[in-house]
Chain A
Amino acid sequence: MTSTDVTEPIIRVENLTAGYDGRTILENVSFTVNRGEVFVILGGSGCGKSTLLKHMIGLYDVAGGHVYIEGNDIVAADGPAREAILRKFGVMYQSGALFGSMTLLENVRLPMEAFTSLDMEQMDLLARMKLSLVGLVQFTGHLPNEISGGMQKRAAIARAMALDPAILFLDEPSAGLDPITSAELDALIRRLADNLGVTFVIVTHELASIYAIADRVIMLDKRVKGIIAEGDPRRLRDESADPYVRQFFHREAEVAAPT
């Protein structure tokens, strides 16, 4: 949340190779994410979308390559330097990953307690405001297991936004949500990007959401272990020369080999 210059790259991924247990899932993947844009990583199931996200946020060690966040390489960073990079972004995990023993308010307040000097009353108000942004202000005293899965996701977004990070990584934010809540979430993402200049990196394959929020997308494919398309989603849908990409955007069932 520092600037709204949309042309400056805030994330640079260079020749990223990643996988698990010696199995390579992504090979030599390179792309940039501009400041303030809503950037969507999409692709079929098992193509490595979540793997890419987890390696971008430094959750797993990469097999090769670099991930620069605001110019700092998270792959090489260690100790305080790494902590400083981690504070630049918030993450919403696919399952929400809320702390089950804490109320929603306490979940959202936790990063504030750790990293700000605000009073408890100030943090409480701020946490309530974050929860009100995602429509959960009436549930601040609830435990995560007392609310629905969709509500847990929204609370997780509120927690990811607790420290007003410059970048928000969202893993499948719309999955499991009803269409109205999903549309509200899309509007929230767009509003935060437009008004605050927050950069979003979102993993999803919900086409309706992609058209509603994405400035730019990359499409991954497991057969090439990397990116097969990049750009505006509508243009890719209408103009891509790759039949697999068009098929994906048109939701056609027949499987075509990627070019």
Chain B
Amino acid sequence: MANAALAVSDAPDGRLIVALSGRLVADTIPTVWRDALKAVRGAVSRPVTVDAAGVDYCDGAGIALLVDLLREPRQAPIEVANLAPAFHALLAQYDPHNLEHDLDPPPPRRPAIEEIGRTASTVLRDLRTQVEFLGQATSALAAAIRHPSTIRWRDVGAVCERVGADAVPIVALIAFLLGVILAFQSAVPMKRYGAEIFVADLIGIGMVRELGALITAILLAGRTGAAFAAEIGTMRVNQEIDALTTMGLDPVRFLVSTRVIAAVLMTPLLTLFAMLVGTLGGAFTMLSYGVPFVTFVKEVDGIVNFQDFVAGWVKSFVFAIAIAGIGCLRGLQTAAGASAVGDSATRAVVSGLVLIVIIDGVFAVIYFMLDI
């Protein structure tokens, strides 16, 4: 069958004849479409007949071409003639002048000042929601501690595996590399003064007081916080949260408690592990500077006391509650749609990281004031 073709001619009575022929299908008509439209636009005040006698076949795009010609604003009439009945039935399905009406077009852009105000208001509202949620989660945890039988311990176990055991390799890798890098970076200047041995002090204090808990918390935010948000967010999209609510089950108690408990149980253990592996990373590096392993351990043992350990370890409990809580909150706040789950996961990670910095800062001030 022939490709789409166009022939424009003048009829004796003054009409413009736009003759279409061949197969009017999407693959063949773009040029014919443009040319036909140009011809019709050039004859706004003349009657036009679109002669479709030569049309062998018409797909949706072919019908769209005819509709496009018919909907052109003009002073003189336009008609389609000789179109085969099967294709005419298709053309008749459309009202050419009623294809552009959006019921609810997108709202116009707001002025910048209004956007700033709205964003500030949203941030404040979000802060309030976080405080409210903290209260709800604390209340749910307190209830769980008072009545341990109400907790779904099987779920807690499963979450513990994902939060704790599954995170061991990545925590080990990052902590070890952190120890190695810290040792290398500090050993070079220290060596100038013959003070390589004090690298052990730096690594020991740094890992135990600060970095062990911090690196574990950052990994927890990226891994577990996002996972909680995505998991609960998907439940929100699938109306599972609505189902829990209508069953009379509190989603905070049902979903959040188990996750926060699991995080609180696992994060301190991971932190201990990170402290140990990070220090080992430093010891491993210092072997290349001629500091034997035993000497390194003895130095660390001499400088790091129980108070340092507690100061670092206590943070991990607070980090766990904050990160697991914010992950769950972002999940519960998920809007509709697939992209909403991704947004929730992103927001969980960002909020988690911000909270880590704030909490660490607060601890630093408290320790300073208590002279710890």
**Interface assignment of B301: CB less than 8 Å from any CB of chain A:** no
The answer on a CB contact under 8 Å between B30 and A117 is yes
* Contact among A130, A141, A163 with B105 in the assembled complex (CB-CB below 8 Å): A141
Number of A-B contacts (CB under 8 A): 90
Given contacts A116-B26, A125-B67, A138-B103, whether A195 and B86 have CB atoms under 8 Å apart is yes
Mark out the residues of chain A between 114 and 143 whose CB falls within 8 Å of any chain B CB in the assembled complex.
Answer: 116-119, 122, 125-126, 128-130, 132-133, 137-143
Contact with B along A13-30 (1 / 0, CB 8 A): 000000000000000000
Distance from B38 Cβ to chain A, minimum over Cβ atoms (Å): 13
* Contact among A4, A145, A191 with B337 in the assembled complex (CB-CB below 8 Å): A145
CB-nearest residue of chain B to A4: B86
The answer on a CB contact under 8 Å between B99 and A132 is yes
The answer on a CB contact under 8 Å between A129 and B64 is yes
Per the CB 8 Å criterion, the residue count for chain A at the interface is 33
Q: Provide the bound-state CA to CA distance between A155 and B340, in Å.
A: 20
Given contacts A100-B337, A129-B64, A164-B61, whether A138 and B101 have CB atoms under 8 Å apart is yes
Contact with B along A99-119 (1 / 0, CB 8 A): 111000000000010001111
Distance from B206 Cβ to chain A, minimum over Cβ atoms (Å): 44
Given contacts A118-B26, A126-B61, whether A141 and B106 have CB atoms under 8 Å apart is yes
**Interface assignment of B102: CB less than 8 Å from any CB of chain A:** yes
The answer on a CB contact under 8 Å between A129 and B94 is yes
Given contacts A132-B99, A141-B102, whether A118 and B60 have CB atoms under 8 Å apart is no
Given contacts A112-B26, A191-B93, whether A137 and B101 have CB atoms under 8 Å apart is yes
**Interface assignment of B63: CB less than 8 Å from any CB of chain A:** yes
CB neighbours of A196 from chain B (8 A): 86, 90
The answer on a CB contact under 8 Å between B337 and A139 is no
Distance from B350 Cβ to chain A, minimum over Cβ atoms (Å): 20
**Interface assignment of A40: CB less than 8 Å from any CB of chain B:** no
Interface residues on B, range: 35 or more
* Contact among A1, A100, A126, A138 with B64 in the assembled complex (CB-CB below 8 Å): A126
**Interface assignment of B176: CB less than 8 Å from any CB of chain A:** no
The answer on a CB contact under 8 Å between A139 and B99 is no
**Interface assignment of B114: CB less than 8 Å from any CB of chain A:** no
Distance from B119 Cβ to chain A, minimum over Cβ atoms (Å): 21
The answer on a CB contact under 8 Å between B94 and A161 is no
CB-nearest residue of chain A to B106: A141
**Interface assignment of B59: CB less than 8 Å from any CB of chain A:** yes
* Contact among B27, B67, B98, B104 with A116 in the assembled complex (CB-CB below 8 Å): B27
The answer on a CB contact under 8 Å between B98 and A137 is yes
Q: Provide the bound-state CA to CA distance between A11 and B45, in Å.
A: 51
**Interface assignment of A48: CB less than 8 Å from any CB of chain B:** no
The answer on a CB contact under 8 Å between A116 and B102 is no
CB neighbours of A139 from chain B (8 A): 102-104
Mark out the residues of chain B between 311 and 349 whose CB falls within 8 Å of any chain A CB in the assembled complex.
Answer: 335-340
CB neighbours of B68 from chain A (8 A): 122, 125
CB neighbours of A173 from chain B (8 A): none
Mark out the residues of chain B between 64 and 105 whose CB falls within 8 Å of any chain A CB in the assembled complex.
Answer: 64-65, 67-68, 86, 89-90, 93-95, 98-105
CB neighbours of B338 from chain A (8 A): 99-101
Q: Provide the bound-state CA to CA distance between A128 and B340, in Å.
A: 27
The answer on a CB contact under 8 Å between A142 and B339 is no
**Interface assignment of A226: CB less than 8 Å from any CB of chain B:** no
Q: Provide the bound-state CA to CA distance between A112 and B25, in Å.
A: 12
Q: Provide the bound-state CA to CA distance between A177 and B203, in Å.
A: 66
**Interface assignment of B33: CB less than 8 Å from any CB of chain A:** yes
Distance from A107 Cβ to chain B, minimum over Cβ atoms (Å): 13
Most A CB atoms within 10 A — which of B64, B65, B339? B64
Q: Provide the bound-state CA to CA distance between A125 and B66, in Å.
A: 11
CB-nearest residue of chain B to A196: B90
**Interface assignment of B34: CB less than 8 Å from any CB of chain A:** yes
The answer on a CB contact under 8 Å between A133 and B104 is no
Q: Provide the bound-state CA to CA distance between A167 and B77, in Å.
A: 37
Q: Provide the bound-state CA to CA distance between A116 and B338, in Å.
A: 27
Which 4 residue pairs spanning A and B have beta carbons closest together? Answer: A100-B337, A138-B103, A145-B336, A164-B59
Contacts A122-B64, A138-B103, A145-B335 known; 4 new A-B pairs at CB < 8 A: A100-B337, A101-B338, A132-B94, A196-B86
Q: What are 11 A-B pairs at a CB distance below 8 A?
A: A1-B59, A118-B30, A119-B33, A129-B94, A132-B98, A140-B102, A144-B337, A163-B26, A164-B26, A164-B61, A195-B89
